[in-house]
Structure 1
Amino acid sequence: MSSSNERINIDVPLWDQGTFVGRFKHFLWVTDPRTCLVSEDDLDNAKILVEQYRKGQEPPGTTKEQIVYAKKLYESAFHPDSGEKQNVFGRMSFQVPGGMAITGAMLQWYRTPFAVVFWQWVNQSFNALVNYTNRNAKSPTTTTQLVVAYVSATSSAMITALGCKAYWSKRASPFVQRYVPFAAVAAANCVNIPLMRQNEILHGIDCTDESGKLIGQSKLAAAKGISQVIISRITMCAPGMLILPVIMERAEKYRFMQKITFLHGPIQVMAVGCFLSFMVPTACALFPQRCSLKTTTLAWLEPEAYEKMKEACGGKLPERVYFNKGL
């Protein structure tokens, strides 16, 4: 390349993924919402350039900056397992614009059962798309499983929201009732993510050794990865949904806020956007994307998978096995 003789490893992050700070920088970079506005042709060209660079066949004069930008576009828009282009609304880079609009609406319109049900349905439909888009793509899911997962997840969210609404409306103050959306979202995430990725739990996900060689599948690895994703998703929305109600409760007591009630919705949407801009990379960075599991744990909790992996490794397993936990 013209700007530098040093080649980068196109298949690994630019920052150390062994530290939280390194993972935060990586996800702040790769979840940049501006990448959602890039044209399909530019995304396809970025993929081509990444593939050419991987083979050492990039066009003469290609700069390091061009390679880094192509890598950013590729990682923001294409699935790490399959290499397929993701639906723009399901990409993690769409979490800020999509999440701020839906979460802001949930926080603003929560007072009637219809509003609660409608916005929970919208949110869980969005979450289902995100969960499906960012699943471990090597564990295919049938259409029937997807429909059952979607209906179950959206139903659980609406039932939880209505249950909290009915219970708290009689026993809690209007301020406490502002937390109905968060209670429903947290509960639904615990249902939505496992259901949308049920095949990983049923059949296991691919595990590799440290060098990336496939050595078998593990249900325990799937359970660990999905659990971490659930924690990350709840963490992602928590600050906005827990702190913003306090801010709005106090702000709405001022006379000027009482005169602009029509702007309360947009204000909450923008405020959620500010929270998510920081929380999306933070939540994604909580756990390494390339998750690992001790083989001694496998031997104890999943002996059948352990024996198959041991056989695949010629009788000697590494200390840890690695897998993509998904997002």
Structure 2
Amino acid sequence: MANERLDLDKPLWDLNNFVGRWKYFAWMTDFRTCIEPESELLAAKKLCEQYRLGKEPADTTREQVIYAKKLYESAFHPDTGELQNVFGRMSFQVPGGMAITGAMLQFYRTTQAVVFWQWVNQSFNALVNYTNRNANSPITTYQLGAAYVSATAAAMITAIGCKSYWQKRASPLMARYVPFAAVAAANCANIPLMRQNEIKSGVDLIDEDGRKLAKSKLAAVKGISQVVISRIIMCAPGMLILPPIMERLEKYAWMQKIKPLHGPIQILMCGVSLTFMVPTACALFPQNCSIKTSTLQRWEPENYELLKKNCEAGEIPRYLYFNKGL
């Protein structure tokens, strides 16, 4: 190993600016990590634990430690340290998202197809939202079911409503935007419902040293709002730019001859879009959100009192931090 040891609890890039966050999330959401077997992931976790204690094998290289850190952060939950379901990881957003988004964009002409693919998409989204939640705020099976049903219903109602309206009053191109309208509406319902306990009970707030000092409902609302915006932006380029491109391409004679390939072509283009947009959307806002203690004092006096109680021996920090989830 090189003389300079890595601090595995710190990122390899500066997360205080967008470029640093983009590089980090492009590294952490690398979809190639999804094919790593569970044994490799557990070995990576073990190596990280050994390295923190200075007990890693003598022939361990710096590159091996960095790759172990990458596997750990892509596959294990940051709050609990538990191995995440592979289909719910952010690193699965590109292969999973490209297949479902491409199918939604391709099969939009019939109501049955719209309903089916919106159901598939919301099932996938529910799994992703649950997997990447703030795990310090547990959610019951009933709440999970209510969130899933509500989000799926919101997606289907929006999709069917837009399809019916645009089919009668708008151009064929507008019908291609039905999936995006449905996805945006569903995200606005799915994510807050899936993480409703954070809004009801608040999320843990920590200082720069990692000490839990208070809770905040406003912080939960802020974090969840940022996640909703990020998720919509993540899928927006592919779902907004691809429809006019496909509308134009499908008019060419050579495209008419390869109709069975229209779906795979859209899936491939969605994959290209998501490869760039997954890290971009994740990097829009800092992972560790901040909230001013003066905000607590003004809007959540009971939580500010808890903060004062926990800071009796020292000065009250100006900012507190929390994990917003992904």
Report if TM-score (shorter chain) is over 0.5: yes
Paired residue for 1:51?
Answer: 49
Number of the residue aligned with 2:93: 95
C-alpha distance in 2 between matches for 1:126 and 1:106:
13
Counterpart in the other structure of 1:303? 301
* Distance in 2 of aligned mates of 1:63 and 1:104: 41
Comparing 17-26 and 315-324, the one that deviates more:
315-324
Amino acid at match of 1:325: K
Aligned to 1:321: 320
Instruction: Return the alpha-carbon distance in structure 1 between the equivalents of residues 222 and 301 of structure 2.
Output: 16
Runs of 4+ in 1 over 6 A off after TM superposition: none
Matched position secondary structure for 2:48:
helix
Q: Render the CA deviation track for 1:135-189: whole Å, top value 9, x for unaligned.
A: 0011111111111111111111111111111111111111011100000000100
Aligned to 1:264: 262
**Distance between the aligned counterparts of 1:164 and 1:316, measured in 2?**
54
Tell me the CA shift for residue 62 of structure 1.
Answer: 1.1
For 2:316, give the aligned amino acid: L
Alpha-carbon distance in structure 1 between the residues aligned to 2:263 and 2:19: 34
AA matched with 1:64: R
d(CA) in 2 for partners of 1:6 and 1:18? Answer: 23
**2:19 aligned residue:** 21
Tell me the residue number matched to 1:126.
124
Distance 1:9 1:289 in 2: 18
**Number of the residue aligned with 2:231:** 233
Residue equivalent to 1:114 = 112
Long gaps (5+) in structure 2: none
- Which residue among 57, 60, 63 is the counterpart of 1:62? 60
Question: 2:55 and 2:136 mapped to 1: Cα distance?
Answer: 28
Question: Where does 1:76-87 land on structure 2 (aligned, <5 Å)?
Answer: 76-87=74-85
> Equivalent residue for 1:292?
290
Deviation (angstroms), 1:223: 0.6
Work out the CA distance in 2 between the residues paired with 1:206 and 1:59: 36
Which of 208, 211, 215 is the aligned partner of 1:210?
208
CA distance in 2, matches of 1:15, 1:256: 46
SS at match of 1:322: strand
Q: For residue 72 of structure 1, give the secondary structure of its aligned residue in structure 2.
A: helix
Cα distance between partner residues in 1 of 2:159 and 2:55: 54
Given candidates 148, 154, 157, the residue that maps to 1:156 is 154
Amino acid at match of 2:321: Y
Tell me by how many angstroms 1:92 deviates: 0.2
In structure 1, the partner of 2:165 is 167
Query: Separation in 2 of the partners of 1:38 and 1:266?
Result: 25
Name the CA distance, whole Å, in 1 between partners of 2:52 and 2:323.
21
Paired amino acid for 1:151 = V
Offset at residue 246 of structure 1 (A): 1.1
Give the SS at the match of 1:132: helix
Identity %: 72
Which residue is 2:184 aligned to? Answer: 186
**How far off its partner does 1:316 sit?**
3.7
Distance 2:305 2:247 in 1: 57
Secondary structure in 2 matching 1:189: helix
Deviation at 1:284, TM superposition (A): 0.3
1:166 and 1:317 map into 2 onto residues whose CA distance is: 56
Q: Distance in 2 between matches of 1:15 and 1:254?
A: 46
Could you tell me how far apart the structure 1 residues matched to 2:88 and 2:3 are? 37
Displacement of 1:305: 1.2
SS in 1 for 2:209: coil
Q: Distance in 1 between matches of 2:168 and 2:303?
A: 51
For 2:273, the aligned partner's letter is F
Structure 1, unpaired ranges of 5+: none
* Cα RMSD after superposing both structures: 0.8
3-state secondary structure, aligned to 1:215: strand
Letter of the aligned partner of 1:149 in structure 2? A
Alignment coverage as a number of residue pairs: 325
Measured in 2, the distance between the counterparts of 1:296 and 1:132 equals 31
Task: Return the TM-score normalized by structure 2.
Answer: 0.98
1:185-228 deviations in Å (ceiling 9; x for gaps): 00100000001111111111111011111112111111110000
Q: 1:282 deviation in Å?
A: 0.4
